[in-house]
Chains A and B, each alone.
Chain A
Amino acid sequence: MSVTVTRSNKSSLTIDTPVMPAAGVFGYGDEYRDLIQLEKLGALVTNPVTVSAWSPSSGTRVVPLESGVLVHTGLPNPGLNKVINTYRSMWSRMPIPVVLHLVITNAEEAKRGAARIEEEDSITAVELGIADDLEASEAAKQVAAFVEASEKALIVRLPFGVSADFAEAVIDAGAGAVVLYAPPRGTARDAGGRLVSGRVYSPIVKPLVLRSVGQIVRRVNAPVIGAGGIHSAADARDYLDAGAVAVQVDSLTWINPKMLEIIARDLGGLVITQPLGALPDEWNPGMGETERRRRISDAPTKEDP
């Protein structure tokens, strides 16, 4: 089951399974090699990479919440050049497409990043991370700057809660798909009593994003990828039902890495589902729960003519 998750502009991204890790949870590729079969995932989305090196944030980085976690890492990374040089050979051997998550702060950086990435065959597509407080017009400028300098398939991860107008602006500027959304930002007290701001990962994020996916999918003419709060295959399926072409799984990967693979197997049709008492022609190996549900919903009912 192949899914094309970006518009077919200059190039497009096609994946076998509509499930991938979200940027920032999976490392650069081989961190989970002992726990997850990478080939079962749709794509690898790397940790955020900036054009020049960024240092880790100082102070508290993780605050456990009632039902979730607040994380503020400062997006530490050694910079685009070093990341590419370090991981190029591993990415070339990856059984799945590599989507590099590039964080940009202005159009100039977008252009420089695009030019560097364009030279790399090991990177299949780019997911652009843009600042949370950006106006739609400025975000569109940055996307346009990237598109001008690169032929790679481009996904843009939108800041939490932005409107359909914002999504339309970046799509018009050349984004092949949008991810709804980056994790929301929040503030919480750490064990030492200090207030810490960071991104919030929690199951509660899912209903908020799911509503936006349903609304924005109807407004934009590019694929939408749902991300936020997925903690089960049913959660992921909800995003597909709302119109997303694929999903990104975030903090569940940390707390239960195997579940990422299980969700990917399920939505990718790799789980063999044989309903109790089913006749032989009512199921087949390779038919996952998603496919079975689709067949049930597509089956003619008594009211059908």
Chain B
Amino acid sequence: MRELILNIERVRRVNETHQHLILSADQALLNLKAGQSLLAHVEGSSAYLREQWFPISISKSEVVVERPADRLYMPATTVHVLSMIGQPFRYRRTLRSVLLIAYNTSPTPLLLSIPALLANQVGVTLVLLGSAASYKTEHIAPEIEVIIGDADFNWANRVTTVGWADQIFITVDPADELASFRKLWALFNQLRNEIPKAYLFGVFQPILPCGVGACGACMIRTKSGTTFACTQGPAFDLAEMHLT
């Protein structure tokens, strides 16, 4: 964990709902993996807590972060970030196909995984459900199959896409996280006879006051006890979770 000072170099509006912040690069961020995030405080911002930022691409020259378009960010602004928050997504070694699902929220936390998966010849399908259907995907790599579904978890070729997937990562509206994961868990129990371990992951995004496991605000219940979404998350095997 380090505190870094970055600059917002450019702000690029990518669609009606989202903008990309192009940040100055820092060597320390090159090791950041899909699933890990930054806790950012923008100088001059009135927000009291740090915002959780999920990068969507990282290179030696820049870090790109996706943020909602209704927040105002100005180029040349200094940002204080705590990095890196959380653990990388745990992929299986023999991975051929991954299903990414966003339900009632943007798929932003899932996007950093795409370049690495494609580079490893892994097929990626992105399913946008509920209000996530309004998320514009023009900026996403054309190799990704994007499927739009409804708020009742119906989408085209649902049985096939689930059947092909070796692993599934789901992000939901943080305001109703546990209830949404419960519904999805019930759905996948219908779609598959048995849900194996390390197959169905929920990406938890509670508000993180500290990001280091000190405040206890992001503690979640697993079948073996409790754990912190900030230090051990954001992705948790739903088969291991208490979703009540």
Q: Which residues of A contact B (CB under 8 A)?
A: 24-27, 31-32, 34-35, 47, 55-56, 58, 60-62, 64-65, 67-69, 71, 73, 75-78, 190-192, 202, 251, 253-258
Contact = CB atoms under 8 A, between A and B. Distances in A.
Contacts of B213: 27, 31
Contacts of A73: 215-217, 219
Given A25-B215, A69-B49, A69-B209, A56 B175 contact: no
Contacts of A61: 206-207, 217-218
10 contacts: A25-B215, A35-B1, A47-B216, A55-B221, A67-B48, A69-B209, A76-B226, A254-B211, A257-B82, A258-B3
Given A55-B221, A55-B226, A61-B217, A31 B175 contact: no
A65 B209 CA distance: 12
Nearest to B176: A192
B67 interface: no
Contacts of B218: 61
Interface in B182-241: 206-207, 209-221, 225-226
Contacts of A34: 1-2
A255 B217 contact: no
B156 interface: no
A274 B175 CA distance: 50
Contacts of A55: 221, 226
- Prevailing SS type, chain B contact patch: loop
Nearest to B220: A56
A260 B30 CA distance: 28
A75 B216 contact: yes
A251 B214 contact: no
B50 interface: yes
A256 B41 contact: yes
Nearest to B47: A64
Contact of A254 (B2, B3, B175, B210): B210
A47 B214 contact: yes
Given A56-B226, A68-B48, A190-B175, A76 B2 contact: no
Contact of B48 (A31, A32, A65, A77): A65
B222 to A, nearest CB: 11
Candidate in B46, B174, B209, B215 with the most chain A CB atoms within 10 angstroms: B215
A86 B210 CA distance: 21
A119 to B, nearest CB: 25
Candidate in B2, B175, B216, B218 with the most chain A CB atoms within 10 angstroms: B216
Contacts of A65: 48
B204 to A, nearest CB: 12
A255 B215 contact: no
Contacts of B221: 55-56
Contacts of B46: 67
A24 B209 CA distance: 12
B179 to A, nearest CB: 10
Contacts of A251: 48, 209
A26 B214 contact: yes
A190 B176 CA distance: 11
Interface string B165-176: 000000000111
B210 A253 contact: yes
Nearest to A62: B207
